[in-house]
């Protein structure tokens, strides 16, 4: 089962500020068409235990959502495609 990430919320509502972390993500389940919002940590744990998530970029390309950890220990999500980490999540609209 895969989910498509459709929107993000950043801490404090600072969507345009790249230094504020994503706090929640909106999603759509491919199998059931269910939609919802979950915390960054909940999606992180779900992916770590075998779940799959992706985004569709403005050009229609699919980028997989993966789990990363900053040197200071903060766990976060980032997209990658063609073996390159990128920032497609930050381009999504506010939930």
3-state secondary structure 58-81: CCCCEEEEEEEECCCCCEEEEEEE
pLDDT confidence of residue 56: 92
Q: Which helix (H) or strand (E) holds 45?
A: helix 40-48
Query: Of 82, 62, 60, whose CA–CA distance to 52 is shortest?
Result: 62
The span from the CA of 76 to the CA of 69, in Å, is 6
pTM (whole model) above 0.75: yes
**Domain edges within the chain:** 2-91
pLDDT tens readout for residues 20-59: 789 999 999 989 999 999 999 999 999 999 999 999 987 8
């Amino acid at each position: 089962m895969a989910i498509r990430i459709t929107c993000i919320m950043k801490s404090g509502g600072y969507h345009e500020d790249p230094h504020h972390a994503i706090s929640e993500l909106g999603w759509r389940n491919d199998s059931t068409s269910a939609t919802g919002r979950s915390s960054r940590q909940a999606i992180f744990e779900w992916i770590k235990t075998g779940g799959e998530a992706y985004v569709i970029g403005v050009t229609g390309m699919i980028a997989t959502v993966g789990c990363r950890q900053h040197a200071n220990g903060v766990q976060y999500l980032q997209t990658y495609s063609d073996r390159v980490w990128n920032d497609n999540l930050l381009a999504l609209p506010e939930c």
